[in-house]
Structure 1
Amino acid sequence: MTLTDPRITPARPDLAADFLAGTVAATRYVKARERRIVAASAPLRREPRPDAPLDTEALAGEAVRVFEEEEGWAWAQLAGDGYVGYLPVSTLGAIEPAPTHRVAVLRTFVYPGPSIKLPPVGALSLMAGVAVTGFEGDFARLADSSAIFARHLAFIGPPLADDFVTIAERFVGVPYLWGGKTSLGIDCSGLVQLALSAAAVEAPRDSDLQERALGSPLPITEEFTGLRRGDLVFWKGHVGIMVDSANLLHANGHHMATVIEPLAVATARIEAAGAGPVTSIKRL
């Protein structure tokens, strides 16, 4: 990572974060306002328009630093991984109350009250954060008076699993979505980041940043020998997770889904498609 990487540096020619004054050039510098994602998920886009490329998604409960709001878009930085881009203002709310719990299953419904017979008012994906104010029977009441099945939640802090691969395996069959980070759609690096986060391991958002930051390098052998569960396999612009010594779990555009397949099959196909060979293998 570098300070000037626009993905993680809140700086434009006309505006930058106040803490960058003297480091990057900008017309003016502003102090961020702390906000929080109140939608189930929020698209963070490269430009302030709905058809701009999706760079990543922020989940409910995530803290956000907002530097500018204009015409329905907030130029902001995600507090968790530092990603910078444009979020719809409608997805943002007050920084308080802070989440007390997070969703511990792939997806769960949000109800207007503590009953499975009520029509759901929404749904939240794995790792979304919620502020629980109390419990009624099998349900947790949230700060906005809605309710979620309590056994689908876990306290924020302890890991959901020690083995992050078990988290990633839950996403098998989930559609591939460039920039996605939810159970409705996810990309290769989003899967790695989300699964590691559930195991209390911080990771950057994009595969090139992950390749630099995560783990220790392993030798790349012709037959990919010596690999084990949890090893990360990187290509230029792609990453996958080994589920055992021979099989790779990854969200990918060939299947347009999250799949498990032999590493040998994946490497041959990816290289034949012109994406190049494996660039590194990392062990956490």
Structure 2
Amino acid sequence: MTPLSAPIFAFGDAQKLAPEDSYTRPPRLDGMLAMTGPSVTTEPGCLPVRGDLAHIKLAGRYFVPHYAVPMPHAIKAGAVLRATGRADGETIMDLPEGETFNVLDIAGAWTWGQLGEDGPVGYVALTDLEAIG
């Protein structure tokens, strides 16, 4: 462990901190969570990852501020997957009724997520989905 350079607080007769304790950090992090190079980017719509959020299954591969556990929703008839969270956004595909859409983010009237486990990624109107269980 890296030794402390000086006591953090000095209160009269209080016992001084040990030079090595559980509050010191190792000089270097190794292993699965160590930053070993630049973050990899992905093509939009292929994987459930964007600049601020990613599916929890991608936590070891993509670096983003937040990871989300998917919330499965059933797709209603007439649902459309869009490139942006707007009614006039580019249509990616018509979604199959009854299939599962894994919601990772809800913002206003729009959700962002992935069709099934490996399908395309995009935005779906919240009114076109129904929460499962």
TM-score bucket (shorter structure):
0.5 to 0.7
Match in the other structure for 1:61:
98
| Cα offsets for 1:186-229 (capped at 9, x unmatched) | xxxxxxxxxxxxxxxxxxxxxxxxxxxxxxxxxxxxxxxxxxxx
Match in the other structure for 2:33:
none
Contact 2:102 2:117 in 1 (8 A): no
- For residue 5 of structure 1, report the CA deviation from its aligned partner: 3.0
Higher relative contact order (CA closer than 8 Å, sequence separation 6+): 2
- For residue 76 of structure 1, report the CA deviation from its aligned partner: 1.1
| Cα offsets for 1:109-140 (capped at 9, x unmatched) | xxxxxxxxxxxxxxxxxxxxxxxxxxxxxxxx
What is the TM-score with the length of structure 2 in the denominator?
A: 0.65
Instruction: Report which of the two has the higher share of helix.
Output: 1
Contact 2:75 2:128 in 1 (8 A): yes
Aligned Cα RMSD in Å?
Answer: 1.7
Structure 2: runs of 5+ lacking an equivalent: 1-40
Match in the other structure for 2:67:
29
* CA gap 1:73/1:53 in 2 versus in 1, 3 angstroms: same
Partner secondary structure for residue 77 of structure 1: strand
Matches within 5 A, 1:176-191: none
- Look at both structures and tell me which one has the larger radius of gyration over its CA atoms: 2
Runs of 4+ in 1 over 2 A off after TM superposition: 3-6
Match in the other structure for 1:87:
124
Contact 1:69 1:75 in 2 (8 A): yes
What is the TM-score with the length of structure 1 in the denominator?
A: 0.31
Match in the other structure for 1:174:
none
Q: Percent identity?
A: 35
- For residue 6 of structure 1, report the CA deviation from its aligned partner: 2.2
- For residue 26 of structure 1, report the CA deviation from its aligned partner: 0.8
* CA gap 1:80/1:59 in 2 versus in 1, 3 angstroms: farther
Structure 1: runs of 5+ lacking an equivalent: 97-284
Instruction: Report which of the two has the higher share of strand.
Output: 1
CA distance in 2, matches of 1:70, 1:29: 16
CA distance in 1, matches of 2:92, 2:109: 18
- Return the match for 1:43 from 62, 70, 80: 80
CA distance in 2, matches of 1:41, 1:5: 26
